[in-house]
Structure 1
Amino acid sequence: MMGPRREAQAALFYEFSLEDHIPQDHLLRSIDRFVDLSCIRAHLADFYSHTGRPSIDPELLIRMLLVGYCFGIRSERRLCEEAHLNLAYRWFCRLDLNDRIPDHSTFSKNRHGRFRDSELLRHLFETTVARCIAEGLVSGQRMAVDASLIEADANRQFSASKEEWDINRIDVAAAPRAVREYLDTLDEAAFGADSEVQPKFTSFSNPASQWTATRKGPAFFSYSDNYLIDTDHGVVVDVEATRSIRQAEVGSTKTMLNRVKDKFDLDPERLIADTAYGSGPMLDWLVKRKIAPHIPVIDKAGRTDGTWSRADFEWDADNNQYICPEGEALKQFRRNYSDPNRGPTGKGVAKYQALKHTCQACPSKMKCSPNADARKITREEHEDARDVARAIRKTKQYKVSSKLRLKVEMLFAHLKRILGLGRLRLRGPCGANDEFLPAATAQNIRKLAKIFPAPQQPRKA
């Protein structure tokens, strides 16, 4: 028999507990165990007025932001709607059923003000990294670095070519916030000071973004999200936003390594990266810091005509000379100069040459220098560090490092596909950092929650 129709009737009193309605295996229960925001009020104390109407609890705003980044809710307007409807979100944000959700505009107001002034988002990220270190997920011995392009909030139709772009015509007083941030970062290495190359197009609304393209893909405006991770469990130990140019990405590596050294006393034994980080100055900087560069060397000394390249010659550091496969020496100087100005300078490129009569009588001349009277070899300023990297590449540890480097690629894939950070919503260098930092914080918290899930409690009968 069909039962009677049920109609919703409003009750005067309800006996309801959020705690009983959140599943024991819900991700937010595990995440909540590793979210410690007790220090936020002290960190923001100097940025609030002592008089006036009480403001919204900053801990509530941060908890809502963490929910948004952990579950890929990109819109703050939609985040407020989801927090209003979802019981688990209310439980995590310490909201009762009758508590009102803050307006979405509150996030922008605080972000552009006290959050940026106090660097709260970086403080929150570093707090999470410290928790990962305390839980034993970070040893600091092996680290990997890489960058990924994140599409900027900019349109090709609202941009100018490098011939049309004139920075002197910008009215600073009337310019948008993103443009003013761009002008403030012109002298920073992370946003183009390390490179003299002018971008093909510059966005009017987001000029700090870089017009670039991925491999075999269309060009677009983007920022680079730079990650420095510990390879033990793939924990992000530092993050930096830069312009999408190689010089800026490589420069950010030095910034991040110095920062984790000062903040957490982490000094890795090896750094793992791809070929983009294999320049001579970068390798030399790592070797001087006693960090083993597990990085492919950028080397253009190879030959395509089948003749011997520089790699076929043995370097004799004690005598400052190269030894060819036939056992002959290629020297930079063959006499002692009494005038120090005529001797070697130790800077730039050094040239080494064999004797002409030796090369002419050599049986392997056609394999070595068929079109020259004598063989010449150049040696760059940082060639010693490059030799260190070449020697490391022949070891078994390097093969292990090549596999470990995939962990940072997996983090970027998770960032874009699961957390939905394929395109930025905020503009300018500060906007990029304001999105990259909470996203990395969410990844670390999810990592903690996955490795140390919340203990399961039996359900009440």
Structure 2
Amino acid sequence: MESFVPPNHPLRPIRILLDEALKNLNWLFDGIYADSGRESIPPERLIRAQLLQVLYSIRSERQLVEQISYNLLYRWFVGLTIDDKVWDHSVFSINRDRLLDHEVIPELFSEVVSLARKRKLLSEEHFSVDGTLIQAWASQKSYCPKGDDIDPPSSGGRNGGADFHGEKRSNETHESKSDRDARLARKGLGKEAKLSYMGHTVMENRNGLIVKAAASHATGKAEREVAVALLADIAGSQRRTVGADKNYDTARFVADCRAMNITPHVARNDNRVGGSAIDGRTSRHMGYQVSQRRRKRVEEPFGWGKTIGLIRQVKVRGLAKVNSVFMMTMIGWNLTRMRALME
């Protein structure tokens, strides 16, 4: 199979990095599958296949399995020979859920970040945080009053319409029958509300690598609350800085950051009631201006994940599965960035 893949193909360095990260997870893989029973798909191949899905914008697992069967590049990356039989897409889905049960994707994400740290590609002092809406795999017609088992009014047909005109709907009183973890949310005033999740990242400012990532319910406070939790999980006690947009300019977020010895370089929102929580002692320094310029790069992984990756609209349901897809997409971003930085 090696002879079919050009020596300078961009997947080669990504596979080397991924293989190094997977080696450190052998202790976890050994306990995933039972010694007896029906033969399962090796977890390493599952992970490589999911990464291919992210890197090549493959929209479904059925299409992924089909392309692995006839694409020699994909076979080589996953670790299959020309004669190896490719698994059925339903078997792939079942085995993927086993990775979810053993929290393999978060462990792999941590290993990839450790690889970047080992290669001195990370800043340990300067970070940026942000969140993005991820459209859920559920329609507005599934959003019904809680406890209501009656289908919404429809005009008939296989995908009939429904009239919600004049109906007040909120996350306190309604939920999606298709995905109960999804929440109605919108990007801003005047924007349409959609059933969504939120993805959160902490980016180191030197090279734009993601050091922490998580998905959550789409609520008004989720961006700040999850950001605090992710920042608290970063090792080290030295003074650090964190850049963020105006949505993070609240007294609670600023106080939480300072309690963790983190200087909040948050964009000032002088129009909020009571004024900005960031005073002149922070915003007057040159470091604050640098953080405000660098923090804009935190949008790049989101843009990449929604155009190349799988997070514009996820094809799974439930917070745990959405979190797995989001973290795998950020793994793909990190490996792609690391490949570029090491060239």
Q: State the match for 2:156 in structure 1.
A: none
Question: Is 1:153 the equivalent of 2:137?
Answer: yes
Alignment match, 1:248: 222
Q: Counterparts of 2:224 and 2:211 in 1: how far apart (Å)?
A: 17
For 1:210, the equivalent position in structure 2 comes to 183
Unpaired runs of at least 5, structure 2: 151-169
Structure 1 residue 402, shift from structure 2 partner: 1.4
1:292 and 2:263 matched = yes
Query: How do 1:44-59 residues align onto structure 2 when only pairs under 5 Å count?
Result: 44-59=29-44
1:150–1:223 CA contact under 8 A, matched in 2: yes
| Counterparts in 2 of 1:420 and 1:198: CA distance versus 1, 3 Å | closer
- Give the drift of 1:34: 0.5
CA shift, 1:40, in A, is 3.6
Structure 1 position 270 matched with structure 2 position 241:
yes
Unaligned runs of at least 5 residues, structure 1 = 1-17, 171-196, 303-309, 312-382, 454-461
Verify the 8 A CA contact 2:14 2:336 in the aligned structure 1.
yes
Q: Displacement, 1:71?
A: 1.6
Aligned-pair CA distance for 1:420: 4.5
The CA deviation string for residues 319-358 of structure 1, in whole angstroms up to 9 with x for no partner, is xxxxxxxxxxxxxxxxxxxxxxxxxxxxxxxxxxxxxxxx
Contact 1:279 1:297 in 2 (8 A): no
Q: CA deviation at 1:75?
A: 0.9
Q: Please give the alpha-carbon distance, in whole angstroms, between the structure 2 residues aligned to 1:248 and 1:217.
A: 19
Q: Which letter maps to 1:166? A: G
Q: Contact between 2:41 and 2:92, CA under 8 Å: does it hold in 1?
A: no
Match of 1:108 among 93, 99, 106: 93
List per-residue Cα deviations over 1:281-330 (Å, max 9, x = no partner). 1111111222111013455677xxxxxxx88xxxxxxxxxxxxxxxxxxx
Distance 1:166 1:299 in 2: 42
Describe the SS at the equivalent of 1:405: helix
Q: CA RMSD in A?
A: 2.3
Letter in 2 for 1:22: V
* 1:409/1:122 CA distance change after superposition, 3 Å: same
2:290 matched residue in structure 1? 400
- Aligned mate of 2:80, from 95, 101, 106: 95
Is 2:238–2:261's contact at 8 Å kept on the other side of the alignment?
Answer: no
Determine the structure 2 residue equivalent to 1:330: none
- Asked whether the equivalents of residues 24 and 111 of structure 2 are also in contact (C-alpha less than 8 Å), the reply is no
2:122 maps to 138
Mapping of residues 288-327 of structure 1, within 5 Å: 288-298=259-269
Whose Rg is larger? Answer: 1
TM-score (norm 2): 0.86
- 2:254 maps to amino acid: L
Counterpart of 1:418 (choices 308, 327, 334) is 308
Residues 267 and 120 from structure 1, CA distance in 2 versus in 1: closer, same or farther, beyond 3 angstroms?
A: farther
Q: 2:28 aligned with 1:43, yes or no?
A: yes
Instruction: Please report how far the alpha carbon of residue 414 of structure 1 lies from its aligned counterpart in structure 2 after TM superposition.
Output: 1.1
**Normalized against structure 1, the TM-score is what?**
0.65
In structure 2, what is the Cα distance between the partners aligned to 1:288 and 1:214? 30
Shift of 1:54: 3.4
Superposition map of 1:61-80 within 5 A:
61-80=46-65
| Contact kept? 1:40, 1:58, Cα under 8 Å | no
* SS of structure 1 residue aligned to 2:134: strand
SS in 1 for 2:311: coil
Q: CA deviation at 1:166?
A: 3.2
1:34 is the counterpart of 2:8: no
Secondary structure of the 1:422 match is coil
Cα distance change of structure 1 residues 268 and 64 upon mapping to structure 2, 3 Å threshold: farther
How many pairs does the alignment contain?
Answer: 321
- Seq. identity, %: 27
Hey, what's the Cα distance between the residues in 1 that align with 2:140 and 2:238? 42
